[in-house]
Structure 1
Amino acid sequence: MKAMIVCSGGLDSVTLAYKVAAEGSLTSLVSFQYGQRHDKELGYAARCAEHFGVPHHIIDISNVGAQLTGSALTDDVDVPDGHYAEDSMKLTIVPNRNAIMLTIAYGMAASQGADTVAIAVHGGDHFIYPDCRPDFIEQFAKMQKMALDGYADIDIYAPFLHGSKADIAAAGAALNVPFEDTWSCYKGGEKHCGKCGTCVERAEAFHEAGVVDPTDYEDPDFWRTAVAAHDSGAA
């Protein structure tokens, strides 16, 4: 496996980079500037690439992202607080984001001699994001086989697709991933806010995995309230 990683700089994709490096050959990292309200996470992706001594490509698709309006990640819309599986988190959908990014990554992998594109989508994403679900990944891979037929044979590697965020935290701990060198928070402050959906998910994952969470949160205990509220509503 010679894999290009779609890497945001978050816990999931950085752990994936370490996993690929342990299992095969990590050729490069590709990140995207799509007009997100903050790009702090891209610095963490750069650190990961530097650690492995591989190229880090930042692709500017902000002109495209400007047309994908309505998301709290790109527009002047408040990022919702609470558990990741709440309906309110649908405000963080950027339509077709993964489809667009993966299409670009496949083209780059084909032209650069990689045989795999790796992405860190996982089971916790399925409720909110349609382009993180198993059916999407399977059908996208089939489409790309046709798109590159006769030119390149690129596989997709999504090892966390059916697992949880806690599984990723456990895998990262086993691989000695420096979790402090990852960024999850949607708000992009000096610290992780501790209250947005992805901060809550991050803290919950470390707790469920039994892994020490090195993250410095502005509100380190909010996740417990959010998880309890979600669990009581789901009961």
Structure 2
Amino acid sequence: MSKDVVLILSGGLDSTTLLYKLLNEGNNVTALSFNYGQKAAIEIERASEICKMNDVNHFVFDIRNIVDLLSSSLTDKDNDNVQEPKSTVVPSRNTILLELATAFAISNNLEEVYYGAIKADTGDYPDTTPEFLKQINELNKVNNYEYIPVCAPFIDTDKKDVVKLALELGVPIEKTWSCYVNNDGTPCGECFSCKSRIEAIKEAKEELGIE
């Protein structure tokens, strides 16, 4: 059954594939992106472009004034360590963004909140784990009059399998942005996120017999 939902769309491979999955299932999707001071702000441009391609309403919220609270190599200009996942963790990012998305959902009569957490992230990012998902839903049951579920359909899915779904759904993978470093349209290919993406695409194509 079609639902009116909100998706946090970073412009990356995982959240973009989730957008295509939700649309393919017949849902009415509103996409939210957040500028929280991330160095690779190009991801927001990619998210906007992808939404235009699919006639999806897209809202960009500027919350850069909280950047000093979010110490991470993704936001700190003096921290270039993007090889170790722990260094790229943005403190409480998903909690903040999911609760903002929940407030948006309540204010706009939307039924569910989605984000693109995947299984491959669970060993590296504490806010992409099944336990986190469970607890954020417990919070949502008590922090408003109306309960808005937070959903993460890929939370038990490897990145390789997300890529396979992306290929099946016709996701424009080349338009998605995963790089933590560059902001000029050319991925660095060396940061943790780039390496994870490259390996997953390689494995998915090998399994599907795609050159």
The C-alpha deviation readout for 1:16-51, integer Å capped at 9, x for no partner, is 000000113233110111111130000111012112
The C-alpha deviation readout for 1:76-121, integer Å capped at 9, x for no partner, is 211334xxxxxx2211011000000000000001111110111000
| Aligned partner (choices 108, 113, 116) of residue 112 of structure 1 | 108
Maintained 8 Å contact 2:22/2:29: no
User: Which residue is 2:90 aligned to?
Assistant: 94
Q: What percentage of residue pairs aligned between the two structures are identical? A: 37
User: Which residue is 2:162 aligned to?
Assistant: 168
1: CA distance between counterparts of 2:21 and 2:141? 24
Maintained 8 Å contact 1:2/1:24: no
User: Which residue is 1:144 aligned to?
Assistant: 140
Larger radius of gyration: 1
User: Which residue is 2:73 aligned to?
Assistant: 72
**1:158 CA drift (Å):** 0.7
The runs of 4+ residues in structure 1 deviating greater than 2 Å are none
Q: How many residues align?
A: 203
**1:167 CA drift (Å):** 1.1
**Are 1:34 and 2:36 counterparts?**
yes
**1:11 CA drift (Å):** 0.4
3-state DSSP class of the match of 1:53? coil
3-state DSSP class of the match of 1:91? helix
**1:180 CA drift (Å):** 1.0
**1:53 CA drift (Å):** 1.5
**Are 1:205 and 2:200 counterparts?**
yes
1: CA distance between counterparts of 2:92 and 2:21? 26
Structure 2, unpaired ranges of 5+: none
1: CA distance between counterparts of 2:108 and 2:121? 29
| Aligned partner (choices 28, 46, 54) of residue 52 of structure 1 | 54
**Are 1:25 and 2:27 counterparts?**
yes
The code of the aligned residue for 1:198 comes to S
**Are 1:192 and 2:193 counterparts?**
no
**1:190 CA drift (Å):** 3.5
Structure 1, unpaired ranges of 5+: 82-87, 213-235
The code of the aligned residue for 1:170 comes to K
**Are 1:157 and 2:151 counterparts?**
yes
**1:4 CA drift (Å):** 0.7
2: CA distance between counterparts of 1:28 and 1:108? 10
TM-score between both structures, scaled by the size of structure 1:
0.82
